[in-house]
Amino acid sequence: MMLVPEHKYVATGILMAGTWGLFWMLIYLRKAQTLGSFQVKIAAFHRLDAEAMAYIVTYIIPFLEIPLHGGREGAAIAVFFVVLGILFVYSNMIHVNPMLNLLGYHLYEITTEDGGVHSLLTRRSIRRRETIEVVRIGDDILLEKLDGT
C-alpha cells in the first residue's frame, strides 16, 4: 500500500517537521558544548539505550498499520502523539530520543562519587571510576563535553 502519493502533503509536512526538529536538536547540542562545564567521577552506570528502542516498538510501530482515510484517524493519531509528548516532558523522559541514537549518542544513568544520580548523554562508552567533563543541559541531565570545545 503506497500512502505517500495519496497523502503527499501530510507526508511532506511530517518530513519537514522531523528535519526541522533534527536541525534544532543539533544546534542545541552544539551550543550546549559552550556552557560552563564541571567534572564528575563515575561511581556506577547503567546504559539506557534500550529505552529508545522500547519507545519505537511500543508507540510508533503500531501506528504504521492504521489506515488514514479520513480526518478522524488523523485526529486520533494527533491527539495520541500530543498526549504522548506531554507525558514524556512531564516524566522527564524527553532525552529518550531515537534520533540521538542514530547520531551516535548513548544514554547512561550514572551515579557519581558524591551520590548524585544523573542521565548522561555521550558519544562514547564510559567506564567506572572515570572522571569526565560535562555540562548540565537539564534537571539531572548531563552532556559530556567534547574534546577541544
Residue 66 resides in a domain = no
Q: What is the pLDDT of residue 143?
A: 94
Predicted confidence (pLDDT) per residue in 50-79, tens digit: 666 666 666 666 666 666 666 777 777 778
pLDDT band at 136 (very low <50, low <70, confident <90, very high): very high
Considering the domain boundaries, does residue 84 fall inside one?
Answer: no
Q: Note the pTM of the prediction, 2 decimals.
A: 0.69
**In a domain? residue 106:** yes
pLDDT for residue 139 is more than 90: no
Contact partners, residue 37, CB within 8 Å, separation at least 6: 133, 134, 135, 145
Is residue 80 in some structural domain? no
In a domain, 74, yes or no: no
Range of the domain at 33: 8-60+93-144
For residues 75 and 19, what is the distance between their CA atoms, to the nearest angstrom? 22
Q: Which residue has the cell 555521550?
A: 122
Written as nine digits, the cell of 119 is: 542521565
Per the structure, the count of domains in the chain is 1
| Confidence at residue 1, expressed as pLDDT on a 0 to 100 scale | 41
Residue 129: its pLDDT value, please? 93
Cell triple for 34: 559552550
Q: How confident is the model at residue 40 (pLDDT cuts 50, 70, 90)?
A: very high
Percent of the chain with pLDDT over 90: 34
In the chain, where does DSSP find H-type helix? 8-32, 50-55, 71-90, 98-102
Flag whether 35 is in a domain: yes
Residue whose C-alpha cell reads 551520590 in the numeric block? 115
What is the overall mean pLDDT for the chain?
A: 81
The answer as to whether 26 is a domain residue is yes
Asked if the structure places residue 1 within a domain, the reply is no
Looking at the DSSP bridge assignments, the partners of residue 39 are 133
Contact status, residue 124 vs residue 49, Cβ threshold 8 Å: no
What cell was used for 98? 531515537
Band the pLDDT of 81: cuts 50, 70, 90. Answer: confident
Residue 122 has what pLDDT? Answer: 92
